[in-house]
Amino acid sequence: MKTNNNQDHDVPKDHPRYESLKYRHKIIEGMKKLIVAEAGLIAHGRGECFDYMLGEKTNEIAKEAIVAAVALLYLAKYPIISINGNVAALCPKELVELSKIINAPLEINLFYRKKGRVEAIMKVLEDAGAETILGIDETKMVEIEELSSNRRNVDPNGIKIADVVFVPLEDGDRTEALKKIGKKIIAVDLNPISRTSLWADVTIVDNIVRTLPEMIKIAKKLKDAEKKELINIVEKFDNKNNIQVSLDSIIQYIKKQKEDAFKILKD
């Protein structure tokens, strides 16, 4: 039997699952460097499963949600980008670029606290060009009382005062708590019926690795847009419809696979 001794995770570019394996290995490497929590591997696997059912592409409704998300971030008084281990491992450069374009600080806010994780995430963001990172000084943190998880400790100059919080890849408890204290939430979640997806004001049902480059593109396009235009985009966006259409995409994709799945065996 052939064994796979490939310990450095080099994936041949012609591998049919190259993209997916590349990001899987980024998560594994991230875990070895303490950036990603052990549970982050499981979260990633759950995401992969939904991504598969979305055809591993950014669909039209996700693109609409991305435009609404960017408009909402531009309209915010204090927008903030919340960073966890998975996003930091998958797309640090894009997080930093988006943060600079829309002028929204990055705040590290972790579910699984473990010694060395904040520092490891800080390093990967700094290596990607981040200048200011919030959520790093434990002594200055304040609590969000409505939340019982580790995520309740937030930066007084970040999530605490933010009116719009961008939470890529999130657990449901915090989204609910942040909503209850009046914040607007933008979430990226491949699972359209997670509690985060349902609670958020704008849910981008897509893979964060595709969403961030698209957000950067739209952020550049809307940079000089008038406030009226941004308000119009946000008002026209309907998150309930967005989630329902995302679920329809999954249903249609599965139906198509029911017909087409075995065709690949003929190639």
Give the residue with the Cβ less far from ligand PTJ, 164 or 208: 208
Give the residue with the Cβ less far from ligand PTJ, 37 or 234: 37
- What are 133's strand-pairing partners? 106
Residue 61 vs residues 71, 135, 192, 200, 242: alpha-carbon distances, Å: 15, 33, 12, 16, 6
Q: Is the CB of residue 238 less than 8 Å from the CB of residue 231?
A: no
Task: Find the shortest distance in angstroms from Cβ 49 to ligand PTJ.
Answer: 8
Task: Find the shortest distance in angstroms from Cβ 229 to ligand PTJ.
Answer: 28
Residue from 138, 142, 35, 139 nearest 84 by CA = 35
Q: And the tokens for 1?
A: 């039997």
Task: Find the shortest distance in angstroms from Cβ 191 to ligand PTJ.
Answer: 4
Give the residue with the Cβ less far from ligand PTJ, 80 or 230: 80
Distance CA 218, CA 108 (A): 24
Positions that interact with ligand PTJ (CB under 6 A):
37, 39-40, 43-44, 46-47, 50, 84-86, 110-112, 169-171, 188-191, 194, 207-209
- What are 153's strand-pairing partners? 143
Task: Find the shortest distance in angstroms from Cβ 109 to ligand PTJ.
Answer: 7
Distance CA 109, CA 126 (A): 16
Distance CA 182, CA 219 (A): 24
Task: Find the shortest distance in angstroms from Cβ 46 to ligand PTJ.
Answer: 4
Give the residue with the Cβ less far from ligand PTJ, 59 or 191: 191
Give the residue with the Cβ less far from ligand PTJ, 97 or 189: 189
Give the residue with the Cβ less far from ligand PTJ, 86 or 99: 86
Beta pairing class for 202-204 and 184-188: parallel
Residue from 16, 22, 3, 46 nearest 209 by CA = 22
Q: And the tokens for 266?
A: 């003929």
Task: Find the shortest distance in angstroms from Cβ 239 to ligand PTJ.
Answer: 16
For residue 7, report the phi and psi dihedrals to the nearest 5 degrees: -80, -20
Give the residue with the Cβ less far from ligand PTJ, 72 or 89: 89
- Give the residue closest to ligand PTJ by C-beta: 47
Task: Find the shortest distance in angstroms from Cβ 1 to ligand PTJ.
Answer: 32
Residue from 66, 47, 57, 53 nearest 169 by CA = 47
Task: Find the shortest distance in angstroms from Cβ 50 to ligand PTJ.
Answer: 5
Residue from 208, 236, 253 nearest 58 by CA = 208
State how far Cα 102 lies from the chain centre.
16
Give the residue with the Cβ less far from ligand PTJ, 104 or 169: 169
